[in-house]
Structure formats: structure tokens, C-alpha cells
Amino acid sequence: MQEGLYFPNFGVYDLNADGNPDVLLVADRKEQNNYADLLEKYSISVYALSDGNIMLTEGSKGYIKPAGKDDIFKFEAPKHYYTPVSEQDILVNPNLIQNSFWK
């Protein structure tokens, strides 16, 4: 069964094979300083495990997964199939209402 992207270790990855780095995966935000030259030259998305938003299935390597409280992301169907409407959009257009799953 396919589980998504597998990262064998922390570091820089070229996800679209264009020869330019796209993603920097680090354990802690402080480590991105080691990649300052690349971050300045390329538009790289930085993901740090210490932020608590993602996790790797095997600790410092593995499939990347969203993480929440206690490193567990709980998918809520059908709520997470929909995107909430921004409050600004609702203010600008009074005909818009918030998606019922996001009230």
C-alpha cells in the first residue's frame, strides 16, 4: 500500500526532478541555518519536525505524515474534504456562508 513520500534522512530534496531543491526537512528549525546559501538562492519549503506539524513514521526517517497533538493527526470526514471560507471573503460578500462543517 502506498503511504506517500518517503524521506530516508533529513536534508534537501528535489521533488520535481528539475535539478533545484524544493524541500528542506530538518529535525529542528535551528538546523536550517546550515542551508542558508541554498535557502537564499532557491525557493525552498522548510519543514521542521520540532514545529509539531509533521512527523516521520520511523522517527528520523520514513513516510511524512501530518501531526497534531501527541503526534496524531485525526482526519474528520467529511469535514476535511472541504475548505473553510475565509472570514474576509464572508465580510466582502454577504451571500457567502461558512461551510457547515467549519462553523
SS3 letters across the chain = CCCCCEECCCEEECCCCCCCCCEEEECCHHHHHHHHHHHHHCCCEEEEHHHCCEEECCCCCEEEEECCHHHCCCCCCCHHHCCCCCHHHHHHCCCCCCCHHHC
* Number of domains observed in the structure of the chain: 2
Is the same domain home to 17 and 62? Answer: yes
Range of the structural domain that residue 6 is part of: 1-69
Same domain, 31 and 81: no
Whether 24 and 62 share a structural domain: yes
Tell me: do 57 and 81 sit in the same domain.
no
Summarize the confidence of residues 27-52 as an average pLDDT.
Answer: 92
Q: Kindly state whether residues 33 and 80 are assigned to the same domain.
A: no
What is the predicted pLDDT for the residue at 48?
A: 92
Highest mean pLDDT among 3-7, 39-43, 80-84, 96-100: 39-43
What pLDDT is stored for residue 60 in this prediction? 92
Tell me if the pTM is above 0.85: no
In the predicted structure, residue 56 carries a pLDDT above the cut 70: yes
More confident residue, 69 or 21: 21
Confidence of residue 30 (pLDDT cuts 50, 70, 90): very high
Residue 71, pLDDT > 60, answer no
Same domain, yes or no, for 59 and 97? no
